[in-house]
Structure 1
């Protein structure tokens, strides 16, 4: 029989005394400040003494606390259950849906990724609409196939492969957390998604470049001046698409002809100082007028919460539209970067300088010891490229 009584408990609470009052067999009435009383069970687990909170006195009577304490003692004695550990486990975020699983995966992996927005964008755009609300244990290989088929139907094979790879990582994470028994994406290969990817090697020769920019100029209604200047800059500077489209004016010193590209926005481990040929400076000055005070060189076209600058899909969509209309032959934005590399070779640029013009990492011992940035040499090389490209891209040609 316990030592406490209902009458005694009310007296203790009324007195305002704080402390722990024993009822027997490890059950205690604990009084906090302001007269808040709760029940707790003292027990031993794995050789350690622990205190487990059962509940507040206002919700659980003395008889109810004794019953609950008896059940807990029986479980501890029977299978070694640790009530405190069990409660901590229950407090962990429940992973019920694919959205929950992605949130957990992303919270752990985003900080390790150099470009954490890339998997987030892939999930939100292509995986979440199909799988986001499904319970993780209910996702089947057919659901995975539905995701990749939807992407391949939109003629984005590389994205389909990327989405499949992300789903494999995601569901492996689910297995690690015991949220699911198997990976529904495990049996799929790139052959089931976008196919085996071949290295892209297309380079636009000078006649093709002339025809391309002439065709783009002929359709200002479908291909805006901002899009046109973006293509011209990509050809002359050889930078990656989003390095340019997400650029802010604070990165540029047009008087000195320099662009300071931060390490966070490149695939390099350090910031890059890019020399700007006179033609590129002239195009940027025009873009600054067109930006109408925006912080970005290429401001967003429509109200969007995703990007404050031109969307990654804008140029591709505009070019694909012209290709479908037969105005231009199909090519990718990245072909302009390869074409810049070809023009650098055409003007006699040494390979190690040409690679630095494209912000490529130099591999091997040379990359470790050669820290000189070749700024003057790169300025000479890119200016020579611009001297060839500017007559092709200027409107009056």
Structure 2
């Protein structure tokens, strides 16, 4: 019995025409499939599960195992006639011993070389590629990050990003460390590492020169001699700072808000009368808080006093609650203003973040545990709670704020705070816990009987 040789062809071998390609389907269970042309050796269509279909030319190279692939173009924009012409050219190159993909690789190498020659200044300039990337991804702290990079790496602005070495970066970090600004040095290393990771992803460098870097482990002497980071103001200091802040205009009211609400110093500068001042609370948008969490402060009697005082500094051209005295925009220049507040109050040096620590310390004295304190100041819950527990616990947070504000009100009224501590020492959740424990005891007692 004679057999037609045409019938012995594999199912994926056929004359590739636009009509045949349009009628073909991807076999079930496959992520990709090739249709090979019977008229022109090497020409094929690559079908993907995503629906894409691409003309390719398949060839082998002497001394290399397997089949190589050159992409010709996407069907149907790249039609049958154009694909056959491109395949003919690629076949001629293979006959001459030339890899058809060499030209494409050379173009990619040239592009990479051009990117690696891009200077650091071009990448981190204002409105440059890196800043545009940060703002486009809505990174909250993009301004401090860009400021740290521009100040810390200014000696290397003319250097190509591909030539920047770990030693040069760490020399810049060590230079800042020697001035006593350990936090600024740590920030520079962190932001530079992030910049280099972005450069790797964008093709400016092949690898991150800070990858795998670990700071030297502290010795026992260094740990003992290291100053504890931050502090909480004592009661006498809170009294002095509160009264002194009343003399410093809009900044003074902002400092009071930081003590009452526990926000980070930049957060109150963004709140506006119409958007964020509600009937029962002040709200801080998640978009510009460090942790990306919504943060609310209830309007207690002290908060209302601060808002009433802030009304006196409201600008006709701005809706900010605490506008800059000079521009009417967002307030900045905290270092000088905090130093002035310290001199006016006559207290030991502190930072705006210490006011946040002071509020948490007061809440602890009033009997509220660390979990409630974290919720009050907009910090992330620990562990798996942040995944499964979506209760805002507004009532208990409001009670914690009210207790802390009563404590502060007693202080600034020149009264001793001891009585307030005793009154507020019991956590409002304790009666509920006691009731649950009582039920458990009754249950086990009944079981034992």
Gaps of 5+ in 1: 1-42, 52-68
State the alpha-carbon separation in 1 of the partners of residues 374 and 239 from structure 2.
25
Match of 2:119 in 1: 97
Cα pair 1:99 1:128 within 8 Å, conserved: no
State the alpha-carbon separation in 2 of the partners of residues 129 and 337 from structure 1.
33
State the alpha-carbon separation in 2 of the partners of residues 315 and 115 from structure 1.
18
Between the two proteins, the alignment pairs up a number of residues equal to: 323
Match of 2:37 in 1: none
CA deviations 1:30-57 (Å, max 9, x no partner) are: xxxxxxxxxxxxx998554759xxxxxx
Cα pair 2:363 2:373 within 8 Å, conserved: yes
State the alpha-carbon separation in 2 of the partners of residues 262 and 325 from structure 1.
32
Q: Structure 1 residue 360 and structure 2 residue 360: aligned?
A: no
1:130 to 135, 152, 155: 155
CA 1:237 to 1:187, structure 2 compared with 1: closer, same or farther past 3 Å? closer
State the alpha-carbon separation in 1 of the partners of residues 185 and 95 from structure 2.
50
* Pairing of 1:15-164 with structure 2 (within 5 A): 46-48=68-70, 50=72, 77-78=97-98, 80-87=100-107, 90=110, 94-95=115-116, 96-100=118-122, 114-115=139-140, 117-118=142-143, 120-140=145-165, 143-145=168-170, 147-149=172-174, 151-152=176-177, 155-164=180-189
State the shift of 1:111 in Å. 5.8
Cα pair 1:296 1:309 within 8 Å, conserved: yes
* Pairing of 1:1-397 with structure 2 (within 5 A): 46-48=68-70, 50=72, 77-78=97-98, 80-87=100-107, 90=110, 94-95=115-116, 96-100=118-122, 114-115=139-140, 117-118=142-143, 120-140=145-165, 143-145=168-170, 147-149=172-174, 151-152=176-177, 155-171=180-196, 177=203, 179=205, 183=209, 189=215, 200=229, 202-214=231-243, 220=247, 224-254=248-278, 256-268=279-291, 270-293=293-316, 294-302=318-326, 308-311=329-332, 314-320=333-339, 327-390=346-409, 392=411
Q: How high is the TM-score relative to the length of structure 2?
A: 0.58
Gaps of 5+ in 2: 1-56, 60-67, 74-88, 415-449
Cα pair 1:98 1:136 within 8 Å, conserved: yes
CA 1:245 to 1:383, structure 2 compared with 1: closer, same or farther past 3 Å? same
Report SS of the residue matched to 1:242: coil
State the shift of 1:234 in Å. 1.1
Higher relative contact order (CA 8 A, sep 6+): 1
State the shift of 1:279 in Å. 1.4
Report SS of the residue matched to 1:241: coil
CA deviations 1:95-119 (Å, max 9, x no partner) are: 3212355566666676667425156
Q: How high is the TM-score relative to the length of structure 1?
A: 0.64
Q: CA RMSD in A?
A: 4.4
